Amino acid sequence: MIDERYVELINKELDGFNTESESKELQQFLSENGEALQYYDELLRAASALKRVDQVEPPSFLKTHILNSIKSLPVPVRSGLGWMNTVLDLFRQRPSVRYGVVFASGLCIGILLFAIVGPWRRDGMPLASKVSGSMVSRTEISRLHVIDSVALDGSGFQSVFKTFQGDGNVTVECAVEADENLRLELSADPRELKFMGFNRLGGTDIDVIATGGKIVFTRTKSEHGLITFTEVASPQQPIEVRIYKEGTVVGNVSIRTN
Amino acid sequence: MQEPNDKDLVKRCLSGDQKAFEILLERYQKPVFNIALRILSNTDDAADVTQATFVKAYEKLNSYDNRYKFFSWLYRIAVNTSLNLLEQKKRSDLLGDKDVSDGNRLEEELHAADRIEKLEDAILNLPVEYRVVIVLRHFQDLSYEEMGMILDLPEKTVKSRLFTARQMLRDLLINSGLLEKV
């Protein structure tokens, strides 16, 4: 009984499909195994016998018959637009085209998903983003009831914060003047107050970031604006204000919301 | 002038150039005929199958996928058409109809013709699935991969079937006296 591996090697040898190392391995095996050598020899002679069988010429009338049959048939054409078939052929034949199409499709889907999902996320849970726009104007603020007013002064800066009660909202007016750039953070309880918008009344045009319940002025020397929160629940917690200079807290204060 | 390749000829056919199909017919008529002949062992049946194969290929040309070799697709049609016809015939009828060899020979040729006839009988005595792989490998010189595509079989199955077919053929040739056992 010859091992399956050598049966395969013998057959592949007949077909000329063995690698050089496989042929050497087979020759070594055959030199040591008489049964396998006999088997190989018999298969070789059978294969040689098959080579003596010539290809037969088809009948001379056959070509004419076939052409006549085809003449009565409609011309086969690819369905669809010609240019589409060219594109499809390109897609089928060129792996680089396939990879390019897949990549571009993925990119488009990603951008589409971001465009669709993005706004929902911002609405449901404020993301860090540049914000602008006003909910309460300077004129309107003058008509609102003042809840609280605090001043926060420190080395090289002065600031005032006021909270106003609106109809279902709380507005914070903040005014800061400093010798150097400061970072200003206002934190409200997101269970009670949800950020609505910021109305810049004066000062430098700097980035304002709203994330969760925190409003951040990343760096400011001069700021005057109105930050409006809508009431999610009756506000009980104060708004915490922190001022940073070069990463260090240089001032903090709480301002009432009711 | 370089001969046009099969894919270009197919493209031309699909544009309405029937001359292109004629070139394909001239190129593959003989191998298709011989595949059918070795499976069916009857020249009339082989001619019918050849005609049916090319007509079917012409009708279905717009479904040919040019990622694959044209002759693989064509041979697949030929093999399937041959096997379908074979199912309609009994094996004993096949041997009775056998007319592959030309009987009009000189005496010294008769010996060789007799040997060929025994060889053809041995091929015919193989079960059809083993006969097909012998025909495709030994008469059309196709690779295992090409045979796999034509027969819609994994390469591993093709090899296994071919190796078994050779073993069976060897035994048949020894029994018929055509191959002396060493």
Angle between helices B144-151 and B70-87 (to 10 degrees): 50
Please indicate, yes or no, if residue A133 is contained in any of the structural domains. Answer: no
Q: Are residues B91 and B107 in the same domain?
A: no
Same domain, B139 and B180: yes
pLDDT band at A197; cut points 50, 70, 90: confident
In 3D space, the residue among A201, A202, A229 whose CA is nearest the CA of residue A215 turns out to be A229
Residues A197 and A157 in one domain: yes
Domain match, B8 and B95 both? yes
- Asked if A64 and A142 sit in the same domain, the reply is no
The per-residue pLDDT for range A60-104, each reduced to its tens digit, is 999 999 999 988 888 777 655 555 656 666 666 677 777 888 888
Q: Are residues A156 and A237 in the same domain?
A: yes
Instruction: Quickly tell me which residue has 């700097």 as its tokens.
Output: A206
A212: tokens are 């969760």
* Residues of chain A contacting B182 with CB distance shorter than 8 Å: 38, 41-42
Q: In degrees, to the nearest 5, what angle opens at C-alpha B77 toward C-alphas B51 and A78?
A: 90
Nearest CB partner across the interface for A50, out of B14, B31, B138: B138
Same domain as B92, residue B2:
yes
Q: Is there a single domain that holds both residue A91 and residue A55?
A: no
- The stretches in chain B having pLDDT less than 70 are 1, 90-111, 180-182
Enclosing domain of residue A101: 82-122
A107 plus A199 within the same structural domain: no
Provide the domain limits for residue B96.
1-100
- The count of C-alpha atoms lying within 13 angstroms of the C-alpha of A4, restricted to the half-sphere facing its C-beta, is 3
Clarify whether residues B5 and B69 are in a common domain: yes
Is residue A242 one of the residues assigned to a domain?
A: yes
Query: Residue A127: inside a domain, yes or no?
Result: no
Q: For A232-241, what is each residue's pLDDT tens digit?
A: 888 999 999 9
Instruction: Pick the last residue of a domain from B100, B125, B141.
Output: B100
pTM: 0.57
Predicted ipTM?
0.83
* pLDDT tens, residue by residue, B115-150: 888 888 899 999 999 999 999 999 999 999 999 999
Task: Check whether residue A245 and residue A151 sit in a common domain.
Answer: yes
Residue with tokens 């997101």: A190
Number of domains composing chain A: 3
Residues from chain A that touch B13, judged by Cβ atoms under 8 A, are: 76
Check CB contact under 8 Å for A70 and B55.
yes
Residues B105, B16 within the same domain: no
* pLDDT (0 to 100) of residue B102: 46
